[in-house]
Amino acid sequence: MARGELIKRIGDYCSFCERKINASLAVEHILPKIHHPALRLDWNNFLLACVNCNSTKGDEDLKLGDYFWPDSDNTARAFAYSEDGLVGPAPHLTAAQKEVAERTIHLTGLHKTPTHDPAASDRRWKQRLDAWGRAEEAREDLSKNDSEITRRLIVRQATALGFWSIWMTVFASDLDMRQRFITAFEGTPGACFDARTQPVQRSGGAL
Ligand SMILES: [Zn+2]
């Protein structure tokens, strides 16, 4: 089996916090024990993750069904993003699904803010806040100058920055932009969305 086939990379973004990460980090996550079935449980081997998500998750054994996974579930349905930089369970989930979403958020520490980490080595919350601000600015620019060029530039800015879910949230009412984000962010499965860019149940997934 080719090496590349073993790594379920979801674009060049952390599979969990969605920030852009560089190629050298990706290489660190390729582990050699490719034939060991237990690696099915090892997020690091299969999903590209940034250093914060990776280190928070750690090495403990997991029950796959206890979490939502970005390579098998439609995690676009699992979480809600807000302008305060926080990530929470999506409001439409059932109580049981919310528990799974909450557990998934804690697995990689996406609930953390600087109060959890005074040393501020974990910049994910701050980066989400920044991304939200940039997406709002872009939406404002577009409202003043709605053109194909502006739309393309916004997509370029978004893909360079990462945080797909935040761009999708801020542009919630602009289906054209949402479709562009779905198409432009490498690794976003088109089958996870309906014609109106709403996330749908993923085939074979729990969500
Ligand atoms: Zn991450």
Residue with tokens 């409001």: 91
Cβ proximity of 54 and 17 under 8 Å: no
**What are the residues whose beta carbon lies below 5 Å from ligand 1 (ion)?**
14, 16-17, 50, 53
Ligand 1 centre to CA of 16 (Å) is 5
What is the pLDDT confidence band of residue 37, given thresholds at 50, 70 and 90? low
Cβ proximity of 124 and 110 under 8 Å: yes
- pTM (predicted TM-score): 0.85
Cβ proximity of 127 and 134 under 8 Å: no
Give Cα 60 to chain centroid, integer Å. Answer: 22
For the stretch 161-200, pLDDT in tens is 999 999 999 999 999 999 999 999 988 888 999 999 999 9
Give the type of residue at 178: R
Ligand 1 centre to CA of 147 (Å) is 33
Domain boundaries, the chain: 124-192
- What gap in Å lies between CA 12 and CA 150, rounded to an integer? 23
